[in-house]
């Protein structure tokens, strides 16, 4: 008998791990160039512009937007059914379960703001290219900096904790010990990516 929920949940986890991971690492790698100065970041951004626009647009829509929309919409459906109880039990895994859903809610709002302003309005409508100078001016507001850092932290935790849930969903880690090891390594990756994020954000504020 065909179980739609079974396959939808696996497609949901696959889209999250691959697409969110790809977007996240690209953003962190590109923005980390700011550590080496304006020319390094602008050079990295210029490399992206070398991709023909029809191909780039196709990748953005078909390879990123549609999978993320599915992941987000189906994720909201899952989150509305979830029962979060970290205060009652206090287990690390239970807290991670809850934070996975809290970060998801924040990411929905953050991505609408971030993509809507920088990608659709600034780059799409006004035709202004993204550059070190534009981002440095953008991050002059402490509120914008705080919201952006929280958005990056939310995306990083959501992805890294998602590695653990992905491995459990797909039967890669079947025992408690294997799940604990993967969870520990995922949180180490989370801490590293958050540290890199704080470092390149500091570069914009200099």
Task: List CB contacts of 109: < 8 A, sequence separation 6 or more.
Answer: none
The span from the CA of 54 to the CA of 48, in Å, is 13
CB of 71 closer than 8 Å to CB of 16:
yes
**Other CB atoms within 10 A of residue 154 CB:** 20
Per-residue tens of pLDDT for the chain, all 206 residues: 557 888 888 888 898 899 889 999 999 999 999 999 999 999 999 988 888 888 988 988 898 899 989 998 998 888 777 665 555 545 677 788 888 889 999 999 999 999 999 989 999 899 899 999 999 999 999 999 999 999 999 999 999 999 998 998 888 888 888 988 999 999 999 999 999 999 999 998 87
The span from the CA of 145 to the CA of 38, in Å, is 18
Whether pTM > 0.85 for this model: the answer is: yes
Distances (CA, A) of 79 to 62, 82, 97, 152, 197: 25, 5, 10, 20, 27
Q: How far apart are the first and last CA of the chain?
A: 60
Task: List CB contacts of 79: < 8 A, sequence separation 6 or more.
Answer: 101, 104, 105
CATH 2.40.128.20 fits 4-205, yes or no: no
pLDDT at 2: 58
The span from the CA of 182 to the CA of 44, in Å, is 32
pLDDT at 53: 86
Domain boundaries, the chain: 4-205
pLDDT at 56: 86
């Amino acid at each position: 008998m065909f179980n739609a929920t079974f396959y939808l949940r696996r497609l949901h986890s696959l889209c999250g791990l691959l697409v969110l991971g790809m977007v996240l690492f690209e953003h962190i790698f590109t923005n980390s160039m700011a550590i080496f100065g304006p020319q390094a970041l602008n050079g990295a951004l210029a490399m992206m512009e070398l991709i023909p626009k029809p191909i780039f647009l196709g990748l953005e829509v078909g390879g990123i937007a549609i999978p993320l929309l599915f992941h987000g919409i189906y994720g909201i459906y899952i989150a509305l059914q979830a029962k979060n109880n970290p205060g009652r039990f206090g287990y690390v895994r239970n807290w991670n379960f809850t934070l996975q859903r809290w970060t998801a809610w924040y990411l929905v709002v953050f991505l609408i703001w971030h993509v809507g302003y920088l990608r659709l309005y600034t780059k799409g409508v006004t035709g202004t290219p993204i550059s070190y100078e534009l981002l440095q001016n953008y991050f002059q507001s402490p509120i914008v900096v705080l919201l952006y850092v929280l958005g990056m932290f939310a995306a990083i935790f959501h992805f890294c904790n998602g590695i653990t849930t992905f491995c459990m969903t797909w039967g890669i880690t079947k025992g408690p010990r294997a799940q604990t090891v993967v969870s520990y390594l995922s949180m180490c990756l989370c801490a590293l990516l958050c540290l890199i994020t704080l470092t390149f954000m500091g570069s914009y504020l200099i």
